[in-house]
Copies of this chain bind each other. A is one copy, B any other.
């Protein structure tokens, strides 16, 4: 592990001023404020910030002040990254790092980027999603001379153009990749394979991106070490379990105002996301049924008090159907045909194929957009199914992601960067790695002050008894 982590104690962090919440503004909300923007493509505009720097491409540099305020508020909620910045005043573990990144561009990402810079790195950035960019934040970054190429509402062509502008630069070559979804990595593989000679590692955040990396690795084509941030304990447990426990309620309420009490809900999949959804809905008085393919998760569902069923058995009585599987065609047209009038259908899993939405685009069914992100699909006999976000992720489309969760992820990304960049030759091969346990624990410890939580420290005698280092790691790597 990077020397940088070794001699520090977890507990004597100064608590930053307590977070004022900030919205992680999402497409839906932002659309109201952007309505008056002009329609010229950013690619067609001459762009310069107030210092005369023009190495970026964004919607509107004039929004920089507004964006800066968003970033400042986000900083208050991301004490772990701010603590890293503070430590970086002494040493710069990323000095010399040239990071190319491709993630959602939000206030929280801006805090991450500016932290990476404070740690010594140079950054160039594109968006990993054509809708998710907060234009005002991109403006704030551009104003601070970060090379950002992103705006809300890119075309697919824009999307790849932006990525290309990040990597295809004269006189600058990345040596680290921070990716979310694997598109950036894919682009470099396809267009600039030689670049990998200088790249020390990839940090990947998403399920999809990680999956691609494992496939590359299996095929023997992965030519640099990669860090799988997605499967880190903190990410899995916090991003999925705890975050979804809240966002399932939030997403359903904001879109449908449904009352949860007494509703019959089917949750497909009892992984971390499913566990979070089930716990929340049960607590709100819903009657929850679970479907599973994995007998271990199935048995957990039983012990947690949920009837384990096949979807067909309960489809007629369901008021709400939620997919959390990562699988495809979990809810089929046949299921949709059998649902009762008013049934709400939505997806909390990781792709947009869990509900076979395509099967609903047939002439005999009428679609009626009743609100943003809410469609009524109407059968010939008048039956209406309430489809949310057209089957895309409810938690991304219709609710906000708490900054606290984003803070955990961003801190993990920053530490993974530092670890890969500073790892001695040979520690990491051309393979996909999980974050070392100790760093997972470090991320967690950086977030405890938020809760005024006080860790107990092992005495020497106890550490010896347990055969542990007093500073951790406290659990074997396989522990979850």
Binding site for B on A (CB under 8 A): 10, 17-24, 32, 76, 231, 233-234, 237-238, 242-243, 245-246, 249-250, 253-254, 256-262, 264, 279-280, 282-287, 291-296, 298-311, 313, 317, 319, 326-330, 340-344, 371, 376, 382, 384, 386, 399-400, 402-405, 434, 440-442, 444-445, 447-448, 450-459, 461-462, 465-466, 472, 474-475, 477-480
- Given contacts A306-B287, A326-B466, whether A257 and B475 have CB atoms under 8 Å apart is no
B404 contacts A455, CB within 8 Å? no
- Closest B residue to A479 by CB, please name it: B480
Determine which of B254, B280, B448 lies in contact with A308 in the assembled complex, contact meaning CB atoms within 8 Å.
Answer: B448
B310, B405, B454, B475: the one within 8 Å of A259 (CB): B405
Cα distance A218–B66 in the bound complex, in angstroms: 57
Q: In this complex, which of A18, A21, A250 has the most chain B Cβ atoms within 10 angstroms of its Cβ? A: A21
Does the CB pair B448–A238 fall under 8 Å? no
Which residues of the other chain, B, contact A341 by a CB distance below 8 angstroms?
17-18, 20
A382 contact set on B, CB distance < 8 A: 17
Within the assembled complex, what's the spacing in Å between the Cα atoms of A477 and B480?
11
- Complex formed: what's the CA distance from A425 to B225 in Å? 33
- Given A302-B451, A456-B292, also A285-B245 (CB < 8 A): yes
Residues A448 and B328 in contact in the complex (CB < 8 Å), given A249-B249, A399-B253, A404-B259: no
With known contacts A234-B299, A303-B285, A342–B32 Cβ distance under 8 A: no
Given contacts A242-B285, A294-B474, 6 further A-B contacts (CB under 8 A): A18-B342, A19-B342, A22-B257, A231-B478, A257-B400, A293-B458
**Nearest CB on B from A288, distance (A):** 8
- Whether A259 touches B302, Cβ cut-off 8 Å, given contacts A326-B466, A454-B308, A474-B294, is no
Measured CB to CB, the closest approach of chain B to A173, in angstroms, equals 34
Shortest beta-carbon distance from A372 to chain B in Å: 10
**B257 and A296: CB pair below 8 A?**
no
Q: Are B246 and A295 in contact (CB under 8 A)?
A: no
- One complex includes copies of this chain to the number of 4
Query: What residue in chain B is nearest A259 (Cβ atoms)?
Result: B402
- Measured between C-beta atoms, what is the minimum distance from A258 to chain B in Å? 5
Contact B32–A262 (Cβ < 8 Å): no
Q: How far is the CA of A307 from the CA of B307 in the complex (A)?
A: 12
B residues within 8 A CB of A22?
Answer: 257
Query: Closest residue of chain B to A299, judged by CB?
Result: B444
Is B328's CB under 8 angstroms from A295's CB? no
The reply to whether A257 and B402 contact each other, CB–CB distance below 8 Å, is yes
The answer to whether B262 touches A451 (Cβ under 8 A) is yes
Contact partner of A253 (CB less than 8 A), chosen from B76, B242, B250, B264, is B250
Can you sample 16 A-B contacts with CB below 8 Å? Answer: A21-B256, A22-B257, A253-B399, A254-B254, A259-B403, A262-B302, A262-B303, A293-B455, A294-B441, A295-B441, A299-B451, A308-B455, A311-B456, A329-B459, A330-B462, A478-B478
Q: Does A253 lie within 8 Å of B246, measured CB to CB?
A: yes
Determine if A18 and B340 form an interchain contact, defined as CB atoms under 8 angstroms apart: yes
Is A293's CB under 8 angstroms from B32's CB? no
Whether B386 contacts A21 by the Cβ 8 Å rule is yes
With contacts A234-B299, A386-B20 taken as known, whether A342 is within 8 angstroms of B76 at the C-beta atoms is yes
| A88 CA to B19 CA, complexed, in Å | 54
The answer on a CB contact under 8 Å between A329 and B434 is: no
Contact B302 A455 (CB under 8 A): no
- Closest residue of chain B to A405 (Cβ to Cβ) is B259
User: Which residues of B lie under 8 Å from residue A328 when comparing CB positions?
Assistant: 461-462, 465
CA gap between A477 and B296 in the complex, in Å: 12
Q: Which one, B250, B441, B456, contacts A310 given CB within 8 A? A: B456
Cα distance A442–B295 in the bound complex, in angstroms: 7
The reply to whether B284 and A434 contact each other, CB–CB distance below 8 Å, is no
Contacts of A17 in B (CB 8 A): 341-342, 382
Contact A309 B454 (CB under 8 A): yes
Q: Are B285 and A284 in contact (CB under 8 A)?
A: no
Inter-chain CA distance A177–B408, complex, in Å, is: 45
Judge whether A258 and B402 touch: CB under 8 Å.
yes
Q: Are the C-beta atoms of A285 and B305 separated by less than 8 Å?
A: yes
Q: How far is the CA of A455 from the CA of B298 in the complex (A)?
A: 7
